[in-house]
Amino acid sequence: MFDIDKATLCVEKMKKYFRSSDEAANVEIPSHIEISSSDYVTYIFYSCLLDYGMRSSTYHSNLIHTYQKYKDIFDPYYVVKNYKNDSEKLLEIIKENIHPRYPNIALKKWLDLSIFLNRNYPDNQLKQKICSLSSYKELYHFIMGIKGYGQKTGGLLLRLIYESGMCHFTDELDDIPIDRHDVEISYLNGIVDKEQLNPKELKLLGTTWIQAAKSRGVSACDIDKYLWSIGNRLCFKKRCFECPIQEECKTKM
């Protein structure tokens, strides 16, 4: 069902493409936030919460401008104190500055995360908690145990923490989040023979990509980044002729 040879061929082409391209799935943050600082950790917990992969670069640009104008809404204590029982102002800020597709859902997630962080990790204790974990598997379960994160948003958060270098785990990432865009890429390139996958099959597809990546010296973190970029910046925008794996893709046919 899963063709690792075709996955390996795609990995080879993506590796070559991204080595010389600026299309990598980097997530921008406000320029004065130091990567791996406590402010960075809190910021990415908020930023990943609403990043569903579609128009992601526009979303992060909006978020940075929002941070510059309304920095306090990225402070869990301030949000709980000022907006928990009076959320209309926060909804207005989110709608007019971040521009999420579903503002009311975004508001609820923002409030729920703020309440959780303020209750459990006040006074910038979130980074301390992250650094106290002993493995990426523990980190994954911690993130996915927080209300509001799904496979893709939680996986993105895990990747940003991984790339920041703030944790010094001895294990490697052994799982990547697979969303419908990753399944579509896999199906169109013959790596999987159907588009409707159950949870077990999604996990096996992620494992197939990781095994193919490792065989070509590509980390799990990087293959996740490659797939994100292909789906978000090429497939979604119909930039097929720029795609490094378009030769094998059924769309071409």
CA 26 to chain centre: 10
Instruction: Specify which residues 2 forms β-bridges with.
Output: 192
What distances in angstroms separate CA 62 from CA 20, 96, 203, 210, 213, one per listed residue? 28, 10, 33, 32, 33
pLDDT for position 20:
72
Terminal C-alpha separation, the chain: 21
**Burial (Cβ within 10 Å: 0-12, 13-18, ≥19) of residue 64:** middle
CB 43 within 8 A of CB 74: yes
Single pTM value for the model: 0.81
Residues 30 and 17: their CA atoms lie apart, in Å, by 28
In Å, what is the CA distance from 227 to each residue of 10, 136, 203? 10, 20, 15
- Partnered with residue 76 across adjacent β-strands are none
Left if phi > 0, otherwise alpha if psi is -120 to 50, otherwise beta: which for 146? beta
CA–CA separation, 225 and 220 (whole Å): 9
Helix/strand/coil for 2: strand
CA nearest to 182, candidates 231, 115, 123: 231
Amino acid at 67: Y
pLDDT for position 55: 67
pLDDT at 252: 58
Strand partners, 192: 2
> What letter does residue 32 receive in the DSSP assignment?
T
Residue 146 near residue 116 (C-beta atoms within 8 A): yes
Alpha carbon distance 46, 197 (integer Å): 29
Which segments within 27-128 are labelled E, that is strand?
none
Task: List the chain pLDDT tens, one digit each, 253 residues.
Answer: 899 999 999 999 999 998 876 555 567 899 999 998 999 999 999 999 998 765 677 889 999 999 999 999 999 999 999 999 999 999 999 999 999 989 999 999 999 999 999 999 998 899 999 999 998 889 989 999 999 998 788 888 988 998 888 888 877 777 788 888 899 999 999 999 999 999 899 989 999 999 999 999 998 888 988 998 888 788 878 888 889 999 888 885 4
158 phi, psi to nearest 5 deg: -60, -45
